[in-house]
Amino acid sequence: MFDRPRRNRKSAAVRAFHRETWLAPQHFIYPLFIHDGTGNQPIDSMPGCQRLDAAGLLEEVEGAVKDGINAVVLFPAVDESLKTSHGEESYNPDGLVQRSIRALKARWPDLVVVTDVALDPYSSDGHDGVVSEDGRILNDETVEILCKQAVSQAQAGADIIAPSDMMDGRVGAIREALDAHGFVEVSIMSYTAKYASAFYGPFRDALDSAPRFGDKKTYQMDPANSREALRELELDVAEGADYVMVKPALAYLDIIRLLREHTALPVAAYQVSGENARIKAAGANGWIDEKKVALESLYAIRRAGADVILTYYARQAARWLAEG
């Protein structure tokens, strides 16, 4: 027996010679939930995450920056009274997201502020787009509103606009709208392959944004498909995306790899709320080691080909990595 792979695993130092994947705080984007009330509110299905008020947001970001996190993405829990069929609140220059972006950029000009573009937090129907009388999601009408939302986020100071709505043609339309308003330097991180996934459950609890009827299968992708991801990739690249994203992450490592192999653009992956919840729940029960499973999952996502990971574990993982 000449070939003994175990020789290359015999000590930590030897193993470190040929470690292929590394993980650091710079690879993370930290998703934060915000609301307009007073005080932070716990989210039952997302232990460790809260709906933050204005002061809570600054406090959390201060801690995250100290832990080495350079980027956050904001998700608003919008008051029911502001939700409408066309989600006009999404482009209110004084809306919760717009105010929060300004507050963050005033304090941390170098912080990368990413914003979500989609109507669901603002929609009285709980859908990412405008719903017709007969219950269809109207693509082109929605894209017009998404452009206004993106421009208003850029005006407030957003660095990266991340459309998560899965409407056709929205990346190109948003690129044109941003450029027309002089925001040529604002980037687009497209949710390229976003699947119609049950892993989003806890997120919808956090924002009270679950669809009021039906599901999202006419716009989000079928979990059974992978070729479709390449079709979406081709469109996003042609329309000017700066980053392409796969979501969820761990159950879709093959899709992350597929995109990695078919584009030179950076690939992002979103470790979503349900992925977080299952590690948290099993960890809290003592069934798995939360820290080890969380880090192993993040390594797997990077190994599959993701450059950057949106993860609720961002801050905790940064601290775990610092502990060694």
Give residues with Cβ within 8 angstroms of 230, minimum separation 6. Answer: 258, 262
The verdict on whether 247 is a catalytic residue reads yes
Place of tokens 């991801």: 229
**CA 73 to centroid of chain Cα atoms:** 7
- Residue 203 found at the interface with ligand PBG (CB under 6 A): yes
Q: Which is nearer to ligand PBG, 184 or 224 (CB)?
A: 224
Q: Are 117 and 156 in contact (CB under 8 A)?
A: no
Measured CA to CA, the distance from residue 237 to residue 323 in angstroms comes to 39
Contacts for 125 with CB less than 8 Å, ≥ 6 apart: 85, 131, 211, 212, 213
The correct pick among 33, 195, 200, 252 for binding ligand PBG (CB under 6 A) is 200
For ligand PBG, the closer of residues 105 and 204 by Cβ is: 204
Q: Does 128 bind ligand PBG (CB under 6 A)?
A: yes
- Stretch binding ligand PBG (CB under 6 A), from 76-84, 152-160, 200-208, 282-290: 200-208
**Residues 236, 258 contacting (CB under 8 angstroms):** no
**In the set 67, 89, 120, 290, which binds ligand PBG (CB under 6 A)?**
120
Catalytic residue among 83, 216, 247, 280: 247
Q: Which is closer to ligand PBG, CB of 40 or CB of 273?
A: 273
CB of 269 to ligand PBG, least distance (A): 12
Least Å distance between CB 273 and ligand PBG? 3
Residue 272 contacts ligand PBG per CB under 6 A: yes
Residue 232 burial (10 A CB sphere; 0-12, 13-18, 19+): buried
Asked if 118 interacts with ligand PBG (CB under 6 A), we say yes
**Residues designated as active site:** 194, 247
